[in-house]
Each structure stands twice: as C-alpha cells, then as structure tokens.
Structure 1
Amino acid sequence: MSAIQHAEADTLERVRDLPPSAKLVAKVLEYNDTLTQSELADETLLPPRTVRYALNRLEDADVVESRFSFTDARKRLYTLDV
C-alpha cells in the first residue's frame, strides 16, 4: 500500500463513526480542495448550522484543517487533511 493510500485509509477510519452530515462534508471536501462553510452548505444542500456541526466533528477527529481566508478574514477555509 502506498503512502497516499495509507493516508486515505486512515482518514476513512477516522470518519467511519461520525454522523452522516460529517461524512457528506468530508466527501465534498475530498472532491473540492478548499471550501468555505457557506460553499459547503451550498454543495451539500445542508443547513449552515448542520455544516458547522459537521465541521466541528471533523476537526475534533483531525480530518479537516481550517485557516482564515486571505481575501476575507471573516471567513475560514476548510480542507480535508489527507
């Protein structure tokens, strides 16, 4: 198994026991490098509050990294930590 495949398997393991909303957000981030919370809400069709909850659960599981946007410091950008 390559290092990338091992990292992906580790990420899947950490997501397995999370709520469905967190799994959906992780899957959307897998296909889109970096998104804001509002972009995630648009992509997943989930309410913003549910996306916020999912992101918190993913951050607690060390699956998602967040950073402030350089173009708008009020927004955070989320990426999947693979």
Structure 2
Amino acid sequence: MSTTTAEPDTEDILTEAEFRNRLRELPPSAKLVAKVLESDAPLSQGQLAEESLLPDRTVRYALNRLEESDLVGSRYSFKDARKQVYFLNT
C-alpha cells in the first residue's frame, strides 16, 4: 500500500483515458469504490463501506486492486491519524 503525506503529485496523476483503461480491467466492487471516491474523496475504508453499501472485506479487496493499478492513493487522515483516507489518482 502506498502511503503519501499529501495529495498526489503531478507525476502520480493519470489522464482520464489511462484511468478508464485501467479501471475497465478491475472487478465491479473496485469500479463502485472508484465511483464513490470520484464524488466524495478523501474517504476512509469505513466511510467507503458505508457509502457503497459493500462489506468492509469487499471494500478492502477493491482498494487493494485499485492501489495495485495505481488508481488510488492514500494518506493518513488529518482528523484521525490512526486512519488512512483514500483518493483517486486522476
């Protein structure tokens, strides 16, 4: 899992076409999590589970797949440093 201290750098940001091509290959749960992050980021894993109505385990799997594809980045939450928050690399 890549952990950064701020929002993504310009070199980490994908073009819309690159993002869509990578996302196309992922399972539906990853697509749903990406869609939730598209409208309301950054979010914690728990917040993603609540917003997507997916089980925690499925959200974790989706986040892992999104991170492996470099579609999602994470950082520690400013509100609660014990938690990671996730955002899209677009």
1:36 aligns with 2:57: no
Runs of 4+ in 1 over 3 A off after TM superposition: none
Task: Give the deviation of 1:71 after TM superposition.
Answer: 2.1
2:79 paired residue among 71, 74, 77: 71
Gaps of 5+ in 2: 1-13
TM-score by length of 2: 0.81
% identical aligned pairs:
62
* Amino acid in the other structure paired with 1:29: L
Q: For the aligned residues, what is the CA RMSD?
A: 1.1
TM-score by length of 1: 0.89
Higher relative contact order (CA 8 A, sep 6+): 2
Q: Which has the higher helix share?
A: 1
Q: How many residues align structurally?
A: 77
| Larger deviation, residues 44-53 vs 24-33 | 24-33
Gaps of 5+ in 1: 1-5
